[in-house]
Amino acid sequence: MKLRFWGVRGSIPAPGPETIRYGGNTACVSIQTRAGGLVILDMGTGLMHLGNALLAGTLTAGPTSDAFRAGRGAATILLSHTHWDHIQGLGFFTPVFVAGNSFTVWGPGGSPEVLEEILEGQMDPNFSPLQTLKNFSARFDVKAAPLDAVFSAEGLDVVARPHAHGATTALAFRITERGEPGRAARTFVYASDVGQPEDRGPDPAAIAFYRGADVLLHDTTYRPADQATRRNRGFSSYEDAAAAAVAAGVGRLVTFHYDQDYSDDEVDDVVARCRRSLDDRGGQAIGLVPAREGDELEI
Amino acid sequence: MKVRFWGVRGSIPVPGRATCRYGGNTSCVEVRPKGGAPIIIDAGTGLRRLGKALMEEAFGDGRGAASILISHTHWDHVQGLPFFSPLYRAGNQIQIFARERDTHLEAVFSQQHGAPYFPVPLSAMQADMAFHALTEGARFELGRAKITSTRLNHPWIALAYRIEVDGAALVYCADTAPFTDLLLGTEFVVQAPSLDAPLPPDTAAELARMRAGVIALAAGADLLIYDTQFTLAEYRLRPHWGHSHPDDAIAIARAAGAKRLCLYHHAPMRSDDDNDAILATYQGVVAQTGDRFEVISAYEGLELSLGDE
């Protein structure tokens, strides 16, 4: 699996000279599978740039881009939850305007009808000139992610689990690329927008869900002092992320979903403190990868 | 009055190196009559920073009052509202003006500001909020400022506003298509129509009325802020998107006798260098045609003084 970060910011896009190193776009991560498949995590404003790169051929040279340009492309989108910063790129994702392309969205809530209605709400004529999802040219199937079974996304095995996100929940995804002779299976966990309403330490069920992952991408919205005054918003601090990574014995930890008010220098500080927190907790062997727009990560 | 641009971008915010100078935030302009409460036009993502600045003033103590004029409720004109800090402080008074809809305006705004899209519902805002539905052509006063409005040519219909105070007039025209090729309303236009086909007489007359309304609104304006999301070539490919281009904006400014034209609502993928080039081109055009108005281009942080300060 090869990850690429298209949007790493939380809550609302944060343009400006002070955010250009980490990037100001909201949540979107792509996974290119070894077999050439494309899985997309969340649909923040980063999705527009992913779509443009896909059609321009700068994401993957060769078959994938050709297919999306010719209307023969297919991809799976895993949606953690429907807060704006996770869906606001959808109307600007140009491959949905190419007839013949096909997208499957697996999202939260347990009901495909309800989820589709929520996504329709974003296209309501009061808010969007598109007026309805039905004006997409591509096929766009909305499905409810099962919570008790493995499902398949472009050949990857996916398990979804609702995590506390303040007063509500967001899905975390555990994604495994199966091994083959001479190559071990690899597991990536995406856990953005997780945060308990009170400080109760790591959630044992969540730790079990992360256990042994090669890479854990975990919400690191806040420094602890900022989290303390905004606990009800349902985001993690870098301390929460480091504690989870050590408890679950993961290989590498990716920081993600930085607060919209943090400058690049402040995010540098979050990353440095996260490294120290891992070390202090006995996680010296855990690699730390700060998510930055445009960066790739091979798993 | 003082005018400050907090968001100048159309459609979607675009962070990144290529947009740092003009800025990547969506539509938001602050107008400050001398000694008066702020009048804010549009609530795109630029509103977040404006809200932080206001919290340094009376709004931080819950003693602030502001009016927000919404051109229309497309995302790029309202998506900053849930991040407007003064709403979260009791005592502040925020009134929102927008064109009337079939449903109550508060219901329209509640739809974006609450579950399942945002963690905090609009009803939980601490500030006093009031919503005022405007009919087309509405005229009203905010303190000493006189506000007038007219309809624009945009899908689901947008309003242009004129603010007159301190001996000067500012006119805000976003979002609108030119008034020559296609009448945009509540119908969804699937495909770009042929621009060479003659218009039905009713449509042509309606567009002509709308154009006359905009020219009257902008008459003698000290500053005309105009939707120039497209170049002329781009407009010809997407006339049904409801945006204009500098050639059309210049024609309107000329007809209205405006004193300064400000290019605004820049396309998301337009880089700073692209915007520089467009500005230079049209400053050249205006120099050649002998027009008396100046052409400028909006960027985040641009501050202008109009009339008596």
- Which pLDDT tens digit goes with each residue over B51-70? 999 999 999 999 999 999 99
Partner-chain contact B116 A129, CB within 8 Å: no
Query: CB pairs below 8 Å between A and B: how many?
Result: 118
The sheet that has B303-305: what strands, in order across it? B128-134, B93-99, B65-69, B39-41, B28-32, B2-7, B303-305
Mutate one of B11, B75, B152, B243 to test the A interface: name it (highest A CB count within 10 A).
Answer: B75
| pLDDT in the model for residue A290 | 98
A88 contacts on B by Cβ (under 8 Å): 12, 75, 79
Pairing, β A74-78 against β B139-142: unpaired
- Taking the Cβ of residue A167 and every Cβ of chain B, the question of whether any pair is shorter than 8 Å is answered with yes
Instruction: Residue A233: name the closest of A197, A271, A265 by CA.
Output: A197
Contact A117, B148 (CB under 8 A): no
- Convert the pLDDT of each residue in A221-238 to its tens digit: 999 999 999 888 899 999
Calculated CA dihedral for residues B286, B290, B293, B294, nearest 10 degrees: 40
Band (pLDDT 50/70/90 cuts) for residue A59 is confident
CATH code for the domain in which residue A239 is found: 3.60.15.10
Overall number of domains in chain A: 1
The sign of the dihedral angle between the CA atoms of B95, B101, B103, B107 is: negative
Average confidence (pLDDT) over B257-262: 98
| pLDDT in the model for residue B309 | 62
Give the mean pLDDT of chain A.
96
Look up the domain containing A117 and give its range. 2-298
- Convert the pLDDT of each residue in B2-28 to its tens digit: 999 999 999 999 999 999 999 999 999
Task: Quote the minimal CA–CA distance from A105 to chain B in Å.
Answer: 17
Partner-chain contact B17 A131, CB within 8 Å: no
| pLDDT in the model for residue B237 | 94
Average confidence (pLDDT) over B193-204: 91
- Domain limits, chain B: 2-305
Topology of domain B2-305 in CATH is Metallo-beta-lactamase; Chain A (3.60.15)
For tokens 């205006």, name the residue: B286
- For A182-212, give one letter per residue: b (16+ CB within 10 A) or e: eeeebbbbbbbbbbbeeeeebbeebbebbee
pTM over 0.90: yes
ipTM metric: 0.96
End-to-end CA distance of chain B: 5
Average confidence (pLDDT) over B260-271: 98
Band (pLDDT 50/70/90 cuts) for residue B196 is confident
Band (pLDDT 50/70/90 cuts) for residue A108 is very high
Question: Rounded distance, CA B278 to CA B284, Å?
Answer: 10
Partner-chain contact B74 A260, CB within 8 Å: no
Contact B90, B127 (CB under 8 A): yes
Band (pLDDT 50/70/90 cuts) for residue B39 is very high
- Convert the pLDDT of each residue in A153-200 to its tens digit: 999 999 999 999 998 999 999 999 999 999 999 999 999 999 988 888
